[in-house]
Chains A and B, each alone.
Chain A
Amino acid sequence: MSLIRLAGIARVFHLGDSVVHALNGLDVSIEAGEYVAIMGPSGSGKSTLLNLLGLLDRPDAGSYRLEGRDVTTLSPDEQAAVRSLRIGFVFQSFHLVPRLTAAENVALPMMLAGIPAAERAKRVAQALKDFGLDQRADHRPDQLSGGQRQRVAIARATIMQPAVLLADEPTGNLDRATGDDVINLLEALNQRGMTLIVVTHDQKIGGRARRQLMMEDGELKFDSARQAPAAG
């Protein structure tokens, strides 16, 4: 059983009179523990695909099975529960809550899930230590460097031990060295068994993934797992 199985996925946006096929007849399967890079030109549908995978958006057609379960038909609250327990997000612009400290930002998913404060404190302390942030626990985001912010965001994304980590251009706002650190961190998590899906423009970073998906005009042009690059 695949972790993720997409079949005939389509996502259409209507902008006035024009219709944008952001995703068009997409069939992809991703196994648990894989390391996948999604690449392609701007506007090719990478973010749209990632949002669908993260249940932030619904497809207009097709089916999405996560761990064997059809998740497109779930109610909003059930989808929220899946996001809480099975999915972690890392964003290009970090998306930390500015008034909360690093520790409080990391604790946010556990707080939303209703985990008691004592348990939260224990797990946050461990996570901050694992990510080399234990000296920064009480700092607010504006007191942290970009790399530190993204590490806080990754700690937050993984604190609920999700099945899959979705990262949309996680190094887009970082310099090369800091970006490499972040990628190393994500790869270390993947080596410990977490499924990792990274959207990136960066050929070098994309090349490090074990599997590459090339998007173009909402369609999958190339999947290194199939070893059959499509023509054009």
Chain B
Amino acid sequence: MRTVDVLRFARDAATGYPLRTFLSVLAMAIGVAAVVVLTALGDGARRYVVEQFSALGSNLVIVLPGRSATGGFSPANALTTTPRDLTIDDAFALTRLPSVRRVAPLTAGNSEINANGRLREVVVAGTASTYLDIRSFKMAAGSFLPEGDWNRGLPVAVIGSKIKEEIFGSAPAVGELIRLGDRRLRIVGVLKSVGQGLGMNTDEVVFVPAGVAQSLFNTNTLFRILIEARSRDEIEAVKREVAAALKARHGGEEDTTVITQDAVLATFDKLLRALTAAVAGIAAISLAVAGILVMNVMLVAVTQRTGEIGLLKALGARGTTIRDAFMAEAAMLSLVGALTGYGLGLFGAFVLRQVYPVFPAYPPDWAVIAALVTALSTGLLFGIMPARRAARLDPVQALMKH
């Protein structure tokens, strides 16, 4: 018997018994739809977290002076004092590395701000114009530090939202003069509130050009160098390039530590992936149940059509032909069920995205492929037994059952 004829025969047999066909297709569809929707939820959660981290600058690579044994990043060690042997020239040299998009030097210290008749203790961060984009900060008013030679800073400052609030209230701050330690600086911008990040509350920081900060604190070293990689994939390349460049600049001495925020993110990513896989596994159980249902439906079909099987044998059908026809029928039930379930699952994920727009509930490709393959293979696997039973029927006995 030709393959097209086997398929057509199986199709007609399936459509000839609409109720049982509908039920097994439905069971399979529910199984696949469950996998698709649940993995869309799980993977959506993962993407949501990753996106939140990306907003904080997940392509961030940080250089610390001194050799760290662990290399791990924690907010606590971001503020501890370390051998000061990073310079603005070191930082500037890193801007020329191929995988580096932006570099910002960072030197920090405590000082007093005196403005508008008020006095307040503040954290002063000396950096450059690039810092704004590396940290994805937004301006509430004015502009961030101007571009220019990092060593020769202009007498300007950018203040965090909380400082602006406490010193100027609702009055505009841009253009006002402040006194920072023994310096007189003009405010050129106010940051939007962002909250905690990298161990300091940015809303309570005064940003000044790196050169200004160094002369304020009477030092010529940097506290950190912040680097943004061109893409997530290039973070490792940046780590390597930066380490090599600094080693070369420091006379072959490995006296710096390069860390990434990505390490933290990777842990979250792994955790949520495992969660999604576990959820998919649970949903896959419904696929196995659907497979067993297909088997029962096919066993009923063999019993129902015993007379027909006997007839086919009398008309010259081989056992293998009958087996193939029943296998094809089981495969069709599974295939149609799986595709219907896939469609239903995609629709379910779509509804989820409409209801929760911030939540990127897309089923991951691996889950979709795994669900479809599992549906088809369970359908076929559970179709084998009924099909073989049909093929082995004794034709004389079968013909008597009519």
Contact = CB atoms under 8 A, between A and B. Distances in A.
Contacts of A83: 313-316
B317 A95 contact: no
Contacts of B310: 95
Contact of B315 (A51, A57, A112, A116): A112
A26 interface: no
A114 B399 contact: no
Contacts of A57: 395-396
| Most chain B CB within a 10 A radius of its CB, from A54, A76, A112 | A112
Contacts of B307: 95
Interface in B301-315: 307-308, 310-315
B12 interface: yes
B142 interface: no
Contact of A80 (B12, B16, B316, B396): B316
Interface in B374-402: 395-396, 399, 402
A112 B317 contact: yes
B396 A112 contact: no
Given A56-B399, A111-B1, A114-B1, A99 B13 contact: yes
A106 B321 CA distance: 18
Q: How large is the interface on A (under 10, 10 to 19, 20 to 34, 35 or more residues)?
A: 20 to 34
Contacts of B118: none
A101 B83 CA distance: 92
A111 B1 CA distance: 6
Contacts of B9: 111
A24 B373 CA distance: 56
B13 A76 contact: no
Nearest to B319: A76
B253 interface: no
A76 B318 contact: yes
B315 A84 contact: yes
A57 B307 CA distance: 16
| Most chain A CB within a 10 A radius of its CB, from B315, B321, B395, B399 | B315
B316 A99 contact: no
A108 B308 contact: no
Given A85-B316, A99-B12, A156-B315, A114 B308 contact: no
Given A99-B13, A111-B5, A56 B395 contact: yes
B399 A100 contact: no
Interface string B68-80: 0000000000000
A188 interface: no
Contacts of A113: 1, 316
B316 A112 contact: yes
Contact of B399 (A76, A91, A116): A91
A97 B315 contact: no
Main SS class of interface, B? helix
A56 B318 contact: no
| Most chain A CB within a 10 A radius of its CB, from B12, B311, B396, B402 | B311
Given A56-B399, A100-B12, A108 B315 contact: yes
Contact of B2 (A80, A97, A98, A114): A114
A99 B1 CA distance: 19
A100 B5 CA distance: 13
A95 B4 CA distance: 24
Given A100-B12, A111-B9, A89 B314 contact: yes
Interface string A153-175: 00010001000000000000000
A84 B402 contact: no
Nearest to A160: B316
Interface in A38-84: 51, 54, 56-57, 76-77, 80-81, 83-84
A81 B316 contact: yes
A142 to B, nearest CB: 13
Contacts of A178: none
A56 B395 CA distance: 6
A95 B318 CA distance: 18
Contacts of A116: 2
B315 A99 contact: no
Nearest to B5: A111
Contacts of B4: 117
A93 B312 CA distance: 15
Contact of B308 (A56, A80, A97, A117): A97
Given A56-B399, A93-B402, A99-B16, A84 B5 contact: no
Contacts of A108: 312, 315
A93 B314 CA distance: 14
A80 B318 contact: yes
B396 A56 contact: yes
B341 to A, nearest CB: 27
Counting from the closest, the 5 A-B pairs by CB-CB distance are: A84-B316, A99-B16, A83-B316, A80-B318, A56-B395
16 contacts: A56-B395, A76-B319, A80-B318, A84-B315, A85-B316, A89-B315, A95-B307, A97-B311, A99-B12, A99-B13, A99-B16, A111-B1, A112-B312, A112-B317, A113-B1, A114-B1
Given A97-B311, A111-B1, 17 more contacts: A56-B313, A56-B314, A56-B396, A56-B399, A57-B395, A76-B319, A83-B314, A84-B315, A89-B314, A91-B399, A99-B12, A99-B16, A112-B321, A113-B1, A113-B316, A114-B1, A117-B5
